[in-house]
Amino acid sequence: MTNTPDLPNPDSDSPTTTDVVSLADGVSTPVARSTTGGEGVLDEGTYDRILEPRSTKRLPLGDGTWHQLSRNYVWVRLISTIAFLVLVIAAALVGALLLRLGWVWIPAGVVTVVTVWTLVILPRQARAYGYQLREDDLVFRRGILWQRMVAVPYGRMQLVDITHGPLDRVFGIAQLKLVTAAATTGVVIPGLQQSAAELLRDTLIAVAETRRTGL
C-alpha cells in the first residue's frame, strides 16, 4: 500500500492558505490563514512583519550609573527655539510696520530676551538631565536653579510611550514618557537616542511586569 500525502479538501467549508512568516531572529515559520473569516480576517491585507521589533537586550539595574541625554537634543532645541524667535520678530515687524502698532515691540522685546537667555543656558540645562535605574525604581532628575528629582517604582508603571517629531527623527532622538497611576509621578525623558529609548522601554516593561506579578 502506498501512502499518499493529505490534500486539501475542495469541499471544505473553511479553506485555508499557508504563509511563511519571518520572525525577528531570522527563523521562518508557516502560519495558516483562513480565507473565509475567523482569525484570518485580522491578517488579511496586512504586512507580514513589524518594522521595529522589540529588543531582546536588557539594561543592568542597580549599578549606580547616571545616564544622560544625547547631544543632538541641544541641536533640536536650538533649531526649534530660533525658529520660534524668528516668528516672534516677524510678527512684531508686521504689527509695527503694517498695522502701526508701536506697543507691539514691548512684548516682543520681553519674549526675545527670555528666548535668548534660554538659548544661552540650553547646553547647561541639557547636561542637568539624568536618570538612573535602581533595583526597585527609576530616578529622574532635571533643573539647574529649580531642581526636581522623581523616583518612579517599576511596579506602578502603567504605560511606557515613545514619541518623536519630524525634527527629532532627523537627528535620531526620541522622547520617552512613563505614565503611572498618580499623575504627579509621571516622568518625561527627552533627547534619548532612538536605540537607547527602545532599549530602555523594553527594560522597563520587562521589569514592571515582574514587579507587578511579584516575581
pLDDT, tens digit (0-9, with 9 covering 90-100), for 132-183: 999 889 999 998 888 889 899 998 888 899 999 999 999 999 999 998 877 6
* pLDDT over 70 percentage in the chain: 72
**Cα torsion 111, 117, 123, 125: sign:** negative
State if pTM tops 0.85: no
Give the integer Cα–Cα distance in Å for 86 and 33. Answer: 56
Q: Please, which residues bridge with residue 157 across strands?
A: 180
Alpha-carbon distance of 156 to 209, in angstroms, equals: 10
Position 25 pLDDT exceeds 90: no
pLDDT tens digits along 48-100:
665 554 555 677 787 788 999 999 999 999 999 999 999 999 999 999 888 88
* CATH classification (class only), 131-213: mainly beta
* Nearby residues of 106 by Cβ (< 8 Å), 6 or more positions away: none
pLDDT band at residue 28 using 50, 70 and 90 as cut-offs: very low
Q: At what angle do helices 72-93 and 105-127 cross, to 10 degrees?
A: 180
